[in-house]
């Protein structure tokens, strides 16, 4: 992981201080061990700071902090917690979504490798707030070093009395289990994750009921991203005001951004929300070449053109106004040497491969889009193929599907073919028969064999 | 009724029962035809085909939702294909997607004519396809899809042998998961699963394991396309050539509701298959393979003529011989049968009345009543056992076997009694008159054997093990036009002058107060629960 840039990152940038809320120990040697973490203040809230607070106070604190889910959808965390029914007679589960799979995103793996104790701290605080006895951390199966680091940290926490029975003499008990996934992108969707956790095929469930009411093992369940939960200890210690000191009014706090693509220092950076993209690129060593566009929040977020990127800031509202989204904070700027058609082909292939195969529009649509793109790239494109791609993607865009995978797979297609249409037309023009419509039925013998 | 709630469908207010699935509310009270592939009334909701998309008003205006998963709630505002172009557009898109990887082999597909995909293409699709073969289909029937599993069994592709009864044509599958849910939820034996993801997802059994459940043919009925077909009906008949009559399972005392599908041809016709008929109070949508294959026996080993003292005779000659034997007999045992209708048993009772004190009626069966399987079988082979009780007949076969020496004639119908070892004393009664549809052991051992119509060829009623009276209807396909129902022959021997089974029904009603006031029309195709004895007595 030493190949990643970003840490140590400067204390301030463009005259503004850079937060170290989540990345506090990222550049501290052996920061993943309890001894070092404690020197830097880990678990110093363990005691009356937490246990004197009621569950409702704690949830209100998180609501007031304005913390939003950092996994991609950006749902207000405190509100999600407040949906959990009290006294349902069932246990409440906390599930940490560490199935980081959005192409371009590599922040959670760093969190779990460098500072697993902060995640455990967050789990204990969220567990106390929600009355959770059992917490699962669902980790992408490929992330073996991170799983080892987590398991090591969990053992240390048990040995030190931060986990297990009767925490701090309060009678409250919490267990954390690390569950390895099998590396399916769709298992980052919370209900698919729950299915996978229960041992079923990782396919999203029909909603309602939402997990807050009936999730894991049909009990109320809160599913939170790693980074979201890691922000909670800071909010507990510094209060909503302390957290809101960072970021903008509507998008308070800090966010980890994993930047890849055409910048000189690709890596993970923690910056306050609301920073402009151009400032951020400078922080990441500056752009290589001249900017053509930028994927602002992971491969499923609609792409931005260079002009849009120049005006955009890194927060929920600015990107929403550009009809894109902050997503998981995976920023991928690309320069004029890149081919948007090939980029989209790669993205579309990913979504065709990762579609769970459950509901029709996404199952058949993503595969078909992939094959049309292949035809375009291979020089078999026809006039109107960019409109066809847009129309096909639109069929699974407006939540005609069970989960948000459909829209997430459609947005890149729609935005690329709209914003980079000349590139697609150039590919299509390579086909001398571009004007001839495709044959509708195969006449070749054996076509249906 | 006050417990109904009001929803708005396409601007119309519709009253529906609370907590109805929206799709049922639309199809029922709202009278809006709503398509579905994955939704099935007797299975859990999977919501994966998306063809039932409607628009429902939410906090952010009208948004898509699937009618099969949503429940009707008070004040719900719904837009269907009748008022929303967006719904039409979305459904056309779903239809188009479903057809991307579906072959156009309707002309050779057994499901054509009763295929949900065909029906809904006409209703919801009718689009100019933008999805061409040139770009490429993922035909799961292609040679590329054949592979050998870890147990060395060939899988994928066309005409996959899933087990003893079912064949899978993978390329036609639209991955609706109905068959998987049937095996999980109804058969409770998860023999089928969807493997793979995306448009490579396919239905399969576990490596080395066949699909061999006693109910597995039901998956061929619920398959909305021609992917799963039964070996017995594969490439046999086009379904639009078939007519059907509604009947029940005559081999089991639950009396699973079914239809007899037959075709009339120049040579008389043939019964091609039995299909389950949905009755939520009896068998839901399911019948056992055993029941389904009963149609094969309708053309096998039939007794189409008579036989007198082992020599072939016409039906009329045999009937005369029977009349002669009865008139000369000193003491006659008539054995009522639990394998046939109330009407035929009423005719037997009429014969006993006509013969006066020379005749004695026995009834019952030595076949044990098994334990119900909870799906569509009670496992009691005596289908009308409850009907015998209703006619006041008890289990008296042991009595007959013990006192067989007192009798010099016995009348059996639709009951292969003499096949039972316990029946040896009965088999030595001098005159043995047997009316049966099949050339059974009893018919072979008879002194006078008369062929009659089988269960599929008669109209009548049976009472099932849950005290429900159900109708059998007559299918016009008979092995010989001369064959008559057993009740007609018995009534003639009794000199009763009956002209139809209605006379039998009236005679049955006269013997059982609980049947008072009930008509065939009231029973209807769905049957009716018999009124409680006390209430019926009050009415009488």
Give the whole-angstrom CA distance, residue A87 versus residue A110. 37
CB count in 10 Å sphere of residue B206 = 15
pLDDT band at B538 (very low <50, low <70, confident <90, very high): very low
For residues A274 and A265, give the distance between their C-alpha atoms in angstroms, rounded to a whole number.
21
Among candidates A5, A1, A10, which has minimal Cα distance to A32?
A1
Pick the residue of B19, B46, B97 with the most A CBs within 10 A to test the interface with A by mutation: B97
pTM assigned to the model: 0.92
Instruction: Report ipTM (2 d.p.).
Output: 0.90
- The DSSP element (H or E) to which A179 belongs, if any, is strand A172-180
The verdict on B275 and B326 lying in the same domain is: no
- pLDDT value at position B156? 66
Mean pLDDT (chain B) is 91
B199–A363 C-beta distance less than 8 A: yes
* CATH number for the domain harbouring residue B225: 3.30.70.20
C-alpha–C-alpha distance, residues B108 and B235, integer Å: 8
DSSP B308-335: ETTEEE-HHHHHHHHHHHHHH-SSEEEE
Determine what percent of chain B is predicted with pLDDT higher than 70: 94
What is the helix, strand, coil percentage profile of chain B, to 5?
Answer: 30, 20, 50
In chain A the first and final C-alpha atoms are separated, in Å, by 50
pLDDT at site B123: 80
**Is B170 within the bounds of a domain?**
yes
pLDDT tier, A446 (very low <50, low <70, confident <90, very high otherwise): very low
Residue bearing tokens 């690709």: A266
**The pLDDT of residue A221:** 97
Question: Inter-chain contact B138–A201, Cβ cutoff 8 Å?
Answer: no
A364 touches B: beta carbon within 8 Å: yes
Instruction: Count other C-beta atoms under 10 Å from residue A264's C-beta.
Output: 12
Q: What is the 3-class SS of A264-321, one letter each residue? A: CCCEEEEEECCCEHHHHHHHCCCECCCEEEEECCCCCCCCEEHHHHHHCECCHHHHHH
Q: Residues A109, A110, A113, A117: is their CA dihedral positive or negative?
A: negative
Distance from CA of A400 to the nearest CA of B (A): 6
Write out pLDDT tens, residues B264-284: 987 779 999 999 999 999 999
Q: Are residues B65 and B207 in the same domain?
A: no
**Which residues of chain A neighbour B48 with C-beta distances below 8 Å?**
358-360, 402
List the domains of chain A with CATH numbers. Answer: 20-244 (3.40.50.11540), 254-335 (3.10.20.600), 340-429 (1.20.1440.230)
What rounded mean pLDDT belongs to chain A? 93
Structural domain of B341: 306-539
Other C-beta atoms closer than 10 Å to the C-beta of A148 total 15
Give the mean model confidence (pLDDT) for residues A378-389. Answer: 92
Q: Is B90 in the A-facing interface, judged by CB distances under 8 Å? A: yes
The pLDDT tens digits of the residues spanning A345-379 come to 999 999 999 999 999 999 999 999 999 999 999 99
Give the integer Cα–Cα distance in Å for B313 and B326. Answer: 18
**Residue B539 φ then ψ, to 5°:** -65, -45
Name the DSSP letter for residue A341: H
* Structure confidence at residue B150 as a pLDDT band (50, 70, 90): low
- Per-residue pLDDT tens digits for B420-451: 999 999 999 999 999 999 999 999 999 999 99
Q: What's the pLDDT band for B196 if we cut at 50, 70, 90?
A: confident
Q: Which residues on chain B are in Cβ contact (under 8 Å) with A359?
A: 47-50
Query: Does residue B485 lie in a domain region?
Result: yes
Which residues from B are below 8 Å from A368, CB to CB? 97, 100, 131, 135, 199
Mean pLDDT of B22-37: 94
* CB-closest option in B129, B171, B197 to A355: B197
Q: Strands, DSSP E only, in B278-381? A: 306-308, 311-313, 332-335, 359-362
B534 in the same domain as B443 = yes
Contact in structure between A206 and A64 (CB atoms under 8 Å):
no
Rounded distance between C-alpha atoms, residue A23 and residue A1, angstroms: 14
% of chain A with per-residue pLDDT over 90: 89
pLDDT at A282: 95
* Alpha helix segments (H runs only) across A40-134: 48-51, 55-65, 77-82, 108-114, 116-130
- For B200, nearest residue in chain A (alpha carbons): A357
Are B395 and B523 members of one domain?
yes
* Residue B103 covered by a domain: no
Q: Which residues contact A223 (CB under 8 A, 6 or more apart)?
A: A95, A96, A97, A190, A193, A194, A211, A215
At residue B137, the pLDDT reads 64
Q: What is the largest CA-CA distance in chain A?
A: 78
Q: A-contacting residues of B 159-188, CB under 8 Å?
A: 171, 174-175
Cα A414 from Cα A426, distance rounded (Å): 18
> Same domain for B264 and B322?
no
Answer yes or no: is pLDDT of B140 > 90. Answer: no
| Contact assignment for A388 to B130 by CB distance below 8 Å | yes
Q: Give burial (CB, 10 Å; 0-12/13-18/19+) of A73.
A: middle
Contacts of B201 in chain A (CB under 8 A): 357, 363
pLDDT tens digit sequence for A36-50? 999 999 999 999 999
Q: Is A4 exposed, middle or buried, given 0-12, 13-18 or 19+ CB atoms closer than 10 A?
A: middle
Which residue in B97, B136, B194 is closest to A365 by CB distance?
B97
Q: How far apart are the first and last CA of chain B?
A: 32
Q: What is the pLDDT of residue B536?
A: 45
CA quadruple B229, B235, B239, B240: dihedral, nearest 10:
150
Q: Which range (A169-173, A215-219, B173-177, B534-538) has the least confidence?
A: B534-538
Choosing from B297, B315, B330, the residue where a domain stops is: B297
CB proximity A383 to B under 8 Å: no
How far is the C-alpha of A185 from the C-alpha of A165, rounded, in Å? 35
- Is residue B117 situated within a structural domain? no
Least CA distance to A449: which residue of chain B? B142
Chain B positions touching A388 (Cβ under 8 A) are 130
Query: Which of A357, A380, A402 minimises the CB distance to B175?
Result: A357
Which pLDDT tens digit goes with each residue over B349-404?
Answer: 999 999 999 999 999 999 998 999 999 999 999 999 999 999 999 999 999 999 99
Residue B460: give its domain's CATH number: 3.40.50.740
- How much is the CA Rg of chain A, to the nearest whole Å? 23
Taking the CB of residue B424, how many other CB atoms lie within 10 A of it?
11
Residue B137 lies in a domain: no
Inter-residue contact B105 to B142 (CB < 8 Å): no
Question: Residue A438: its pLDDT value, please?
Answer: 80
Same domain, yes or no: B316 and B293: no
B182/B81 same-domain check? no
The reply to whether B92 falls in a domain is yes
* Whether residue B287 is found in the same domain as residue B310: no
Model confidence pLDDT, tens digit, residues A70-89: 998 899 999 999 999 988 99
Cβ contacts of A348 on chain B, cutoff 8 Å: none
Indicate if B311 and B407 belong to the same structural domain: yes
- Residues near A306 by beta carbon (within 8 Å), at least 6 away in sequence: A290, A291, A292, A293, A294
Q: Is B312 part of the contact surface with chain A (CB cutoff 8 Å)?
A: no
**Are both B79 and B201 inside the same structural domain?**
no
Asked if A359 reaches chain B (Cβ–Cβ under 8 Å), the answer is yes
- The reply to whether B219 and B274 lie within a common domain is no
Contact in structure between A375 and A348 (CB atoms under 8 Å): no
pLDDT at B537 over 70: no
Quick one: which H or E segment has residue B27? helix B22-27
Interface of A with B in 149-188 (CB under 8 A): 184
B238, part of any domain: no
B488-501: pLDDT as tens digits = 999 999 999 999 99
**For residue A352, what is the nearest residue in chain B, using CA coordinates?**
B198
**Residue B360 forms part of a structural domain:** yes
Q: What's the rounded Cα separation, in Å, for the pair A294 and A416?
A: 11
* Rounded Cα distance, A280 and A302, in Å: 19
**B470 and B531 share one domain:** yes
In terms of CA atoms, which chain A residue is nearest residue B101? Answer: A364
Rounded alpha-carbon distances, angstroms, from residue A164 to A134, A154, A384, B185: 10, 10, 62, 39
Q: Structural domain tally of chain B? A: 4
CATH code, domain with B30: 3.10.20.740
The continuous run of DSSP H or E covering A357 comes out as none
């Amino acid at each position: 992981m030493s190949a990643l840039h970003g840490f140590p990152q400067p204390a301030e940038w463009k005259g503004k201080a850079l937060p170290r809320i989540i990345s506090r120990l990222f550049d501290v040697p052996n920061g993943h061990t309890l001894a070092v973490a404690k020197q830097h203040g880990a678990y110093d809230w363990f005691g009356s700071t937490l246990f004197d607070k009621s569950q409702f106070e704690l949830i209100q604190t998180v609501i007031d902090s304005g913390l939003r889910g950092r996994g991609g959808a950006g749902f207000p965390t405190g509100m999600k917690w407040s949906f959990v029914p009290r006294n349902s007679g069932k246990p409440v589960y906390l599930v940490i979504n560490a199935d980081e799979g959005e192409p371009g995103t590599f922040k959670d793996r760093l969190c779990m490798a460098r500072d697993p104790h902060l995640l455990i701290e967050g789990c204990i605080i969220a567990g106390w707030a929600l009355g959770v006895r059992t917490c699962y951390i669902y980790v992408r199966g490929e992330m073996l070093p991170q799983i080892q680091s987590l398991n090591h940290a969990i053992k240390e926490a048990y040995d030190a009395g931060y986990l297990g029975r009767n925490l701090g003499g309060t009678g409250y008990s919490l267990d954390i289990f690390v569950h390895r996934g099998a590396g399916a992108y769709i298992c980052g969707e919370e209900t698919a994750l729950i299915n996978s956790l229960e041992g079923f095929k990782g396919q999203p469930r029909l909603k309602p009921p939402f997990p807050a009411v009936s999730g894991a093992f049909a009990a109320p369940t809160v599913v939170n991203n790693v980074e979201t939960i890691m922000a909670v200890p800071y909010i507990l210690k510094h209060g909503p005001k302390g957290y809101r000191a960072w970021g903008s009014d509507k998008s308070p706090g800090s966010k980890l951004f994993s930047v890849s693509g055409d910048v000189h220092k690709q890596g993970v950076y923690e910056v306050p929300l609301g920073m402009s993209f151009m400032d951020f690129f400078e922080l990441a060593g500056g752009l290589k070449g001249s900017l053509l566009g930028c994927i602002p929040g992971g491969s499923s977020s609609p792409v931005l053109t260079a002009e849009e990127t120049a005006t955009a800031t890194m927060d929920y509202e600015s990107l929403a106004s550009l009809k894109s989204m902050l997503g998981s904070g995976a920023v991928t700027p690309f320069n004029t040497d890149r081919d948007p058609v090939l980029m989209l082909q790669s993205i579309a292939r990913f979504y065709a491969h990762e579609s769970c195969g459950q509901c029709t529009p996404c199952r058949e649509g993503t595969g078909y889009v992939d094959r049309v793109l292949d035809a375009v790239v291979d020089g078999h494109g026809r006039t109107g193929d960019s409109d066809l791609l847009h129309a096909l993607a639109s069929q699974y865009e407006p939540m005609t599907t069970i989960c948000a995978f459909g829209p997430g797979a459609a947005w890149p297609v729609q935005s690329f073919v709209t914003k980079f249409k000349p590139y697609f037309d150039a590919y299509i023009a390579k086909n001398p028969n571009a004007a001839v419509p495709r044959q509708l039925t195969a006449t070749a013998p054996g076509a249906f064999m | 009724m006050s417990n109904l709630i009001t929803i708005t469908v396409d601007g119309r207010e519709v009253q529906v029962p609370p907590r109805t699935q929206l799709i049922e509310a639309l199809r029922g009270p709202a009278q809006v035809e709503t398509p579905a592939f994955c939704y099935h009334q007797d299975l859990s909701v999977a919501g994966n085909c998306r063809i039932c998309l409607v628009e429902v008003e939410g906090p952010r205006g009208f948004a898509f939702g699937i009618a099969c998963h949503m429940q009707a709630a008070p004040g719900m505002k719904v837009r269907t294909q009748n008022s929303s172009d967006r719904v039409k557009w979305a459904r056309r898109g779903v239809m188009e997607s479903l057809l991307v990887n579906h072959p156009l082999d309707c002309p050779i597909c057994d499901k054509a004519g009763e295929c949900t995909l065909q029906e809904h293409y006409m209703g919801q699709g009718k689009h100019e396809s933008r999805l061409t073969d040139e770009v490429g289909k993922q035909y799961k029937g292609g040679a590329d899809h054949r592979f050998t599993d870890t147990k060395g069994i060939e899988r994928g592709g066309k005409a996959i042998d899933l087990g003893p009864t079912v064949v899978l044509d993978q390329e036609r599958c639209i991955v609706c998961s109905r068959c998987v849910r049937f095996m999980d939820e109804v058969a409770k034996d998860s023999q089928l699963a969807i493997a793979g993801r995306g448009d490579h997802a396919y239905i399969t059994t576990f490596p080395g394991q066949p699909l061999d459940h006693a109910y597995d043919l039901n998956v061929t009925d619920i398959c909305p396309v021609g992917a799963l077909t039964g070996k017995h009906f594969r490439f046999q008949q086009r379904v639009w050539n078939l007519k059907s009559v509604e009947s029940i399972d005559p081999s089991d005392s639950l009396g699973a509701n079914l239809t007899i599908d037959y075709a009339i041809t120049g040579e008389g016709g043939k019964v091609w298959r039995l299909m389950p008929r949905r009755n939520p109070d009896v068998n839901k949508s399911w019948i056992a393979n055993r029941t389904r294959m009963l149609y094969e026996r309708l053309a096998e080993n039939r007794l189409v003529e008579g036989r007198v003292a082992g020599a072939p005779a016409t039906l009329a000659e045999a009937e005369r011989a029977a009349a002669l034997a009865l008139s000369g007999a000193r003491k006659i045992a008539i054995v009522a049968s639990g394998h046939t209708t109330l009407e035929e048993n009423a005719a037997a009772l009429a014969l006993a009345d006509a013969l006066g004190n020379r005749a004695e009626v026995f009834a019952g069966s030595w076949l044990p009543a098994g334990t119900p399987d909870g799906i569509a079988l009670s496992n009691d082979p005596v289908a009308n056992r409850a009907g015998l009780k209703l006619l006041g007949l008890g289990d008296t076969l042991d009595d007959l076997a013990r006192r067989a020496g007192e009798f010099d004639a016995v009348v059996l119908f639709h009951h292969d009694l003499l096949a039972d070892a316990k029946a040896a004393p009965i088999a030595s009664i001098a005159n043995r008159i047997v009316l049966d549809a099949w050339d059974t052991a009893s018919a072979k051992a008879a002194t006078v054997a008369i062929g009659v119509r089988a269960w599929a060829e008669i109209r009548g009623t049976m009472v099932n093990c849950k005290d429900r009276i159900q109708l059998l209807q007559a299918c016009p396909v008979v092995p010989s036009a001369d064959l008559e129902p057993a009740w007609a022959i018995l009534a003639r021997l009794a000199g009763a002058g009956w002209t139809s089974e209605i006379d039998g029904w009236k005679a049955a009603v006269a013997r059982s107060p609980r049947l008072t006031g009930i008509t065939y029309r009231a029973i209807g195709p769905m049957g009716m629960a018999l009124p409680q004895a006390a209430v019926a007595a009050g009415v009488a």
